[in-house]
Amino acid sequence: MYGRNTSSSIYNGRPLINPPTLIESNNTRFLIVDAPSTNNLPLYLKEFERWQVTDVVRCCEATYPKEPLDEKGIETHDWVFSDGASPPSSIVDTWLNLIEERFHNVDHPTGCIAIHCVAGLGRAPVLVAIALIEQGMPPLDAVAYIRERRRGAINNKQLKFIESYKPRSKKQCIIS
């Protein structure tokens, strides 16, 4: 249920170098991926369909056109910030608003938000960690949870940011 996709994602005889990583918690679903290219976008579109992706958040410069996503009814959000850095508060606010709209203002959330940076190891996992912290998960637990599923995620500078991140909500995490 959690973690790396163990089935092979293949397009034109080539697998994805880094399979998508599904992170689920409290009725929210995030799919961390590395940046698609124009050449392998059809494979990512198959994965997005498989995981019921409603939105794609690009934390890096665009490496593919958004029109194929539009055609599939997937909304694209370009929230670029520096590689290896922490997100500015304006992006954190917009990210949290998107999560609220997609998962908390509906009776039965079924969708998934895909998110990527270049390799899916820094900027994208940091935003997912923020979402987990907002749900009440302690910061270091959020990082460990993501790292268990996506090796190499979150650098030291980003870890320090996450450790000092103050959630805007006051939810308590209950892990069953």
Residue 22's domain is classified under what CATH number? 3.90.190.10
φ/ψ of residue 76, rounded to 5:
-105, 135
Per annotation, catalytic residue among 59, 83, 107, 141: 83
Q: Which residues lie closer than 8 Å to 153 by C-beta, 6 or more apart?
A: 32, 120, 121, 122, 125, 143, 146, 147
- Asked whether residue 133 is domain-assigned, the answer is yes
CB burial of 63-100 (b: ≥16 within 10 Å; e: otherwise) equals: bbebebbeeeebebbebebeeeebbeeebbeebbebbe
> Does position 25 have pLDDT exceeding 60, yes or no?
yes
For residue 131, being part of any structural domain is answered with yes
Catalytic: 59?
no
CA distances from 50 to 9, 43, 53, 136, 173 (A): 11, 11, 8, 28, 28
Phi then psi dihedrals of residue 58, to 5 deg: -100, 115
Longest CA span, the chain? 48
What is the residue range of 143's domain?
3-164
Residue 27 has pLDDT above 90, yes or no: no
Note the pLDDT of residue 81.
84
Q: Tell me, yes or no, whether 172 lies in a domain.
A: no
Q: Is residue 60 a part of any domain in this protein?
A: yes
Annotated active-site residue in 55, 78, 117, 173:
117
Number of separate domains in the chain: 1
Residue 14: pLDDT band by 50, 70, 90 thresholds? low
- Higher-confidence residue: 86 or 106? 86
Domain annotation covers residue 118: yes
| 171 lies in some domain | no
- 173 inside domain: no
**Is 117 known to be catalytic?**
yes
pLDDT in tens, 43-89: 999 999 999 999 999 999 999 999 999 999 999 999 998 888 889 99
Which comes out higher in pLDDT, residue 3 or 144? 144
Choice between 12 and 143, residue whose per-residue pLDDT is larger:
143
Q: Indicate the pTM of the whole model.
A: 0.84
For 117-154, how does the pLDDT look when each residue is reduced to its tens digit (9 = 90+)? 878 778 899 999 999 999 999 999 999 999 999 888 88
In a domain, 169, yes or no: no
